[in-house]
Structure 1
Amino acid sequence: MATTGHTVKAFDDDLGQLRGLVSEMGGRAEAAITNAIEALVNRDLDLAARIIEGDRKIDLLQTDIEKHVVRLIALRAPMADDLREVLAALKIAGVVERMGDYAKNIAKRIPTLQDARGLDAIAVLPSMGAIVTEMVRNVLDAFVARDAEAAVAVAARDSAVDDFYNSIFRTLLTYMMENPHNITASTHLLFIAKNLERIGDHATNVAEMVYFAATGTQMIERARGGDPLAGDL
């Protein structure tokens, strides 16, 4: 079947809508991460509750993306580069949904930290969160722009997130050993740091998907930071 100008424009419009949905979903996840750290620092229970409630919209956007991809493939039968981009959007939506879940998990722990004071990790977590949210924002921009080099730059930042996590882990472990009263708060903060570390991993996974969609080749596997929980103390 011959491809007409109208058909090409219709496909471009569909692809543009798909990119828009992914961008909106990613933007909401990015905002949830930023707000979760703000709520942690300020012990803002109202903001934490809004993050938890807002996760439903992220889930709904994932469903919309899945429906859009199925419709686009069925009606437009994309090939080669276009098919890679469509399938990347589908996979990215699933990963971004998990990012939103991690932000929600952070928000859920905030009520348990109302009385936590004097733990340096709380002061360090915003810096870790800032890197993670920037990775999420940049990798979604890379997807929309089909920018393979930007995707590589995002993946390269994951080691900095791992370094933050390893440092926080050691600090909190010291607090727990020095004073048993710190164990509960330190454990919650450790889980929060781990959630941020996982978001960084997911942003890097998205970067790899973007790179493949743009180039048709796999990104060179990155070196991973050691995880203290795996025995690398």
Structure 2
Amino acid sequence: MRLDTVRRLATPEGCVIDLRLAGPVVRARAWLIDFLIRFAVWLLLVILAVRLGDFGAGLLLLGAFVLEWFYPVVFEVWFRGQTPGKRACGLAVVHDDGRPVGSNAAFIRNTLRAVDFLPLLYATGFVCSLLNADGKRLGDLAAGTLVVYVESGRRPAVVSSVDVGSEPPLFALSREEQLVLIEFSQRAPLLTPERAAELAAAAGPLLGGVDGSAAELRLRRIGNFLLGRPTA
């Protein structure tokens, strides 16, 4: 069973890309930001509608319709899969194969928000996201889309697996255990420090009593040793 949310895809060109799937909590935070933005615009429309009489009432209804149904579609199609809320949370909507989301997929996933919202506060969408490995709500399943983390342009400073040195394991390891440690040593720099430390804690006796970032570094050094790299 996978212990992280990275989905590895192979493109037709022979490239391998990693997509880090977003969970329900960060997606809810992005939705809340977008809701507050829409609510602020709606309040401005109410103030304007009061001054315009009957014409203002029609304008208010039209504005509410556009905000509810076209706000997410326009942003996802024209702004690289990111509404303002998703951008603030470092998220984006993409197709299952990593391609930028298109107009048809954006329209389908956002139209089905009405179903995901049932019976209250996206309860159906939340339950659905817990029942599939990619964290998809019904709209994502129908549209073939994923919500993933995107690079912010400022990457945290990490030390590559080559630079941390190497050391032998405390005891003999099976082939499967060796493969797991090698993969962890290669992927740890791509994880958040908290997630890397959480995964490292699963190694138990192999850590020799250390924890946190020290445990992560020890596993990466063991992975380097298994790859035949010289000791520090």
TM-score w.r.t. structure 2 length? Answer: 0.27
In proportion to residue count, which structure has more helix?
Answer: 1
TM-score w.r.t. structure 1 length? Answer: 0.27
From the CA coordinates, give the structure whose radius of gyration is larger: 2
In proportion to residue count, which structure has more strand?
Answer: 2
